[in-house]
Structure 1
Amino acid sequence: MTEAVLLTETNAGVRTLTLNRPEKLNAANDALLLALTEAIAEADGDASVRVIVLTGSGRGFCAGQDLGDVSGRNMTFTEHLNHTYNPLIRAIRSCGKPVISAVNGVAAGAGASLALAGDVRLWARSAALIEIFSNIALVPDSGSTWFLPRLVGYHRAFELMALAEKVRSDEALRLGLCEHVFPDETFHQEVQAYAERLAARPANALKLTKQALNAAMTTTLDVALDREAELQQVAGDHWEHEEGVTAFKEKRAPDFRREYE
């Protein structure tokens, strides 16, 4: 039997989705991209899942598009992106659960876009990101032109894309491309521990926070203020808010998981 291109594991409310083409540094083919998009949607609809982790098997996170998979195909670049990568990136950003990009190795091309798309980016010490598109005279896609300049500014983003410069973990942390860097030897344990911390937080409030942040990235302050006021009412009407206030008054840790267990 052909080995699965995507591995799925759930532990303590954390759904880990592992890209599983290690012999190709997890370069993406259609089967992997479509399976990942479907898996994110499935996890989003599963009340027992509170956090989603995306990572890679072997030495790589994702080396971008498997060029051999599209060679000779009767499909335009636009059609391919709209069929595979664009639905995947939209699924990550619209997902109501926090998504962690656990970058265990090289993230190149569209793999770099995938690494940037998470709500939290955790890197292994040996990880690296490279916007490699210009090496084959293509334009960065799969969200890179949206994510990268918002993190590092237009000019640094252009330089990284134009020169296809590799960004290693120490510089990635300095530039804000990741939130934490962990040793390779303990990377997966550190990611799981971080994800479980996030899973203990109020799921509804985090979903609404993600909605507010996504909307605020492309709107005015006045619109963002109105949106915050609307979402604050939704959050305040939820049982999590009552639990948080009650726990504060009783001087105990809130239990934001009780309704889901």
Structure 2
Amino acid sequence: MSAADSGGLLVRDEGRLRIIMLNRPDRMNALTADLHHRLQEAVVAAGNDPDVGAVALTGAGRAFCSGGDVRKSSEDAANASRAETIEERADTIIAHGRTAIALHRMGKPTIALVNGAAAGSGMALALACDLRVMASDAVMRTAYARIGLSGDLGLTYFLHRLAGPARAVELMMLNEKLDAARCEAIGLANLVLPAEGFAEAAEAFAATLAAGPTVAFRCMKQNLHTAAAGNLEHTIEREAYNTARCVRTKDVKEASLAFREKRDPVFTGT
């Protein structure tokens, strides 16, 4: 796929790496309802594309994603022909949250390349990914307490699992601005890279995952999701079946041959 820009979203491929870039730099990549929809379509399409080995999510300009576009939401509410019920609003937010689910559950690695500020639902999208690479000058912030909201897109779920229950309460209620070093220290960032040349270095990191053993990665994610449910017996069973499945792949045979030939394996994802 060549680079394609559609409604504030730029999608391009670098080898087996699919890069999805939020492209509203003038609004710090704030999410409108339409952009939510386009992003979800792009994430699902990447997950279903057999030529894609990994997915990287990032933002254009100085921000990763500043969250929902509050100004646009206010304008839409003011122009609405009738009052929206709680149930109708909740249904819309649930629909937006399916993007986070798709990033989290996708059967291939997802990497957030956090080039700048990630706040509110933007932070949730970053945490929904399997890994987060942050620029040294990037920041994260839950942001909801400042605008009187409680959070969406699974942010509390991911904070609870990545930072722990006590820290999740602290981050949601105190709304602390977290620099990259702090994010790494409390488990929200996996890698911090220099701001200078961040995009190139971060994409190179993501590309190593895109070139990895796709079937094994999918099985690893299944194992980890089963383990998160907290049942040891189910986890051991899942690991066993997935190992048996992986043994049949060409990638395992290639890895064995590469070991004997003292070289790096070249995986094909099959």
Instruction: Please state which band the TM-score falls in when normalised by the shorter chain.
Output: over 0.9
Structure 1: which 5+ runs fail to align? none
**1:211, CA displacement in angstroms?**
1.5
1:1-261 matches, cutoff 5 A: 4-71=7-74, 72=77, 73=80, 74=84, 76=86, 77-84=89-96, 86-257=97-268
Is the contact made by 1:5 and 1:31 (CA closer than 8 Å) also made in structure 2? no
CA offsets, 1:182-239, max 9 Å, x none? 1111110111110121122111111111111122112311111111111111111222
Quick one: which amino acid aligns to residue 95 of structure 2? H
Residues in 1 aligned to 2:224 and 2:69: alpha-carbon distance in whole angstroms:
33
Residues in 2 aligned to 1:248 and 1:191: alpha-carbon distance in whole angstroms:
28
**1:246, CA displacement in angstroms?**
2.1
Residues in 2 aligned to 1:81 and 1:258: alpha-carbon distance in whole angstroms:
35
**1:258, CA displacement in angstroms?**
7.9
Residues in 1 aligned to 2:71 and 2:61: alpha-carbon distance in whole angstroms:
20
Q: Cα–Cα, structure 1 residues 154 and 123, in superposed 2: closer, same or farther, change >3 Å?
A: same
SS state of the match for residue 61, structure 1?
strand
SS state of the match for residue 185, structure 1?
coil
CA offsets, 1:59-116, max 9 Å, x none? 11111111233331536431221122x1101111121121110111111111110111
**1:147, CA displacement in angstroms?**
0.8
Residues in 2 aligned to 1:143 and 1:156: alpha-carbon distance in whole angstroms:
16
RMSD, aligned CA: 1.7
Query: TM-score if structure 1 supplies the norm length?
Result: 0.93
Structure 2: which 5+ runs fail to align? none
Quick one: which amino acid aligns to residue 244 of structure 1? A
Query: TM-score if structure 2 supplies the norm length?
Result: 0.90
Residues in 2 aligned to 1:30 and 1:215: alpha-carbon distance in whole angstroms:
32
**1:163, CA displacement in angstroms?**
1.0
